[in-house]
Amino acid sequence: MSADSEVIDEDQGEGDVIVPVIPIVEISQNGQRRSNGNNENSSEEDDENENDGGTSRRSHAAPLPRYKSVNGKHKIDMTPPDQKLIRSEDLAKKLASEGKTDKAIEEYIKCVAYSRIVYGKRQENTYNLPLEDFYHADNARSIMLHGSHTASSVEEKADLFHVLIKIYRVMGEACTALKKYSDAEQALQKADRISQERSKLSCVADKECNQLDILLYQAMARLYAKQKKYALASEKYDKVIELMEEEFGRDSSQVMHAYMEYGRHEQSKGRHANHEKAIRLFLQAHSIASAIYKTGHPELVDTALALSQAYASTGWEEAEASAMSYLEESLNTCTTIYGPSHSKTLEVQDHLVKVMIRTDKTREAMQILKSSLPAKCEVFGDYSEQVSDTYKLMGSIHLAEGNIQTALQNYKKCYNIESILLGKNHKKAKDTQHTMELLMSSPGISSKFVLNKQDELQKRPRFNSVVARGK
């Protein structure tokens, strides 16, 4: 039976699932293959190598330790921690297979310490975590497909299928994070086929199928969204919400978060986005949040903010009033929960200011920007994008009112921060510089305002080295 058969044999009945015993072949980090077949001599040789540090045959995954002599008496192990991690992991597996549990645990504890040294304590949103997820899921799949697993009952067969569904789903999610979309789609489709086969077993309840399918369809929806297969992604999101409503109820937090994710997916289409659909999805999410949470809950902030942005992104003049209303609601909730100087409150204020500028409420917008500037400097730092963007917005308001010199002063402060923070060649810094150069070309402005010291020196009269002699 091949590894791609997912332990499904259509010729067999529900009673037995038989997978032949095949030695598990592991792939070490340097690409070498090694087998876990019974080889007593190999374990003895490894023991000898560990004792005398010799150069005889040993595993490619466990490099030789490096020792440095101190005063000819003491030896210090100079092996890098990433290689020590490999050695400890291999030794722990070997000790566990020999039944030496306590010693295996000691080696696994060392693995944790070495992992923190090599990779750090936290690795969220990095390349390593999905790579490790795939590695472990692939090993689990090999064990399931190549190991000795015989199901003597329908219940055991359902359990085997359950584990395989989880394994392929994790592999699919890991490949999606690694942008290996073809592999991800193949893994998730395998999980779906096994799930459908499992649902036919007499011992499997609909509730259990729904719970597995919710996670599986979510993973598929996210994959299709990454691939920009928008129709397929929407189909899966619809199915997720249908199953969640059946499983958790229409007014549940799970359904609310599904509507939020679905709405963001709709907005991600850019110019192809269906704004009316996005608004409907966010309205559903905000309605559920209002029903299950009390006034002043953080979820109400997020749903109201998402809804306001959906209205604002339409470009419709009549939608601006709705965007303003939900932003003010979100701002009031933020101020109540976090206070006026919190990063979330300042973020909502910026969204509100942009709507105010579009609706010609520039005076109110300027008051908010000026009052928020000290808090932004304290929360984000003097040289931060939040502060530079504030100066840019203030400059745009002054420019709209015809105060070109004041606008230039704000744009210059913005440019100074952007050039230090992002670099002078960054797009934002270049755009700000281009705006200043256009304003400097206005009549009468160049004589009153200089962009930098170099321009100021160029405006000075030339120095005359000839000095008139006194009589």
In this structure, what CATH number is given to the domain that contains residue 367? 1.25.40.10
- The answer on pLDDT for 60 being more than 80 is no
- Report d(CA 56, CA 292) in Å as an integer: 67
Does residue 25 sit in the same domain as residue 126?
yes
Q: Which of 310, 341, 373 is the last residue of a domain?
A: 373
Q: Does 30 share its domain with 139? A: yes
Indicate if 331 and 436 belong to the same structural domain: no
Q: What is the pLDDT of residue 443?
A: 75
Residue 423 has pLDDT above 70, yes or no: yes
pTM (2 decimals)?
A: 0.65
The rounded distance, in Å, linking the Cα atoms of 63 and 85 is 10
Predicted pLDDT of residue 131: 75
In a domain, residue 29? The reply is: yes
- 349 shares its domain with 428: no
pLDDT category, 121, cuts 50, 70, 90? low
Q: Is residue 132 part of a domain?
A: yes
- Residue 320 inside a domain? The answer is yes
For residues 285-306, one letter each, b for 16 or more C-beta atoms within 10 angstroms of the residue's C-beta and e for the rest, the string is bbebbbeeeeeeeebbbbbbbb
Beta strands per DSSP E along 2-63: 17-19, 25-27, 33-35
Q: Quick check: 445 pLDDT over 80?
A: no
Query: Same domain for 296 and 400?
Result: no
Asked whether residue 232 is assigned to any structural domain, the reply reads no
Beta-bridge partner residues of 67: 77
Residue-number span of the structural domain to which 131 is assigned: 21-35+44-146
Residue 34 predicted with pLDDT over 60: no
Shared domain for 353 and 421, answered yes or no, is: no
Residues 340 and 399 in one domain: no
For residues 306 and 393, state if they share a domain.
Answer: no
Q: Give the pLDDT confidence score for residue 50 in this predicted structure.
A: 41
Q: What's the pLDDT at 456?
A: 52
Q: What pLDDT does residue 242 have?
A: 96
Taking residues 242-265, what's their average pLDDT?
A: 94
State the DSSP string of 379-432: HH-SSSHHHHHHHHHHHHHHHHTT-HHHHHHHHHHHHHHHHHHT-TTSHHHHHH
Encode burial over 15-46: b for 16+ CB neighbours within 10 A, e otherwise. eebebeeeeeeeeeeeeeeeeeeeeeebeebb
Task: Tell me the angle at which helices 206-226 and 181-199 cross, rounded to the nearest 10 degrees.
Answer: 160
Place of tokens 């499992």: 198
- 4-13, 101-110, 142-151, 256-265: lowest mean pLDDT where? 4-13
| Residue 465 belongs to a domain | no
Q: Identify the band that residue 118 occupies on the pLDDT scale cut at 50, 70 and 90.
A: confident
Q: Tell me the pLDDT of the chain averaged across its residues.
A: 79
Sole residue written with tokens 């037995």: 16
- Torsion sign over Cα 350, 415, 430, 404: positive
Q: Are 133 and 29 in a shared domain?
A: yes
Are 31 and 120 within one domain?
A: yes
Domain assignment present for residue 154? The answer is no
Query: Which residues, listed in sequence order, are joined to residue 19 by a DSSP beta bridge?
Result: 149
Residues 349, 413 within the same domain: no
Q: Give the three-state DSSP class for 317.
A: coil
Average pLDDT (113-124) is: 68
Kindly tell me if the per-residue pLDDT of 169 is higher than 70. Answer: yes
CATH of the domain at 420: 1.25.40
> What per-residue confidence (pLDDT) applies to 6?
45
Cα 284 to Cα 259: distance, rounded to the nearest angstrom: 7
Per-residue pLDDT, averaged over 53-79, amounts to 53
User: At residue 32, does pLDDT exceed 60?
Assistant: no
Looking at residues 100-113, what average pLDDT do you find? 86
Query: pLDDT digit string (tens) for 138-168?
Result: 777 777 776 556 667 888 888 888 888 998 9
The answer to whether residue 76 sits within a structural domain is: yes
Q: What is the pLDDT of residue 276?
A: 93
The average pLDDT across 290-305 equals 89
Do 367 and 401 fall within a single domain? Answer: no
| For residues 163-184, average pLDDT | 91
Task: Please say if the pLDDT value at position 8 is more than 70.
Answer: no
- Provide the number of structural domains found in the chain: 3
What share of the chain has pLDDT > 70, as a percent? Answer: 75
Domain endpoint, select from 89, 123, 146: 146
Among candidate residues 351, 373, 395, the one where a domain is terminated:
373
| Residue 169 forms part of a structural domain | no
Reply yes or no on whether the pLDDT at 447 is more than 90: no
The answer, yes or no, to whether residue 37 has pLDDT greater than 60, is no
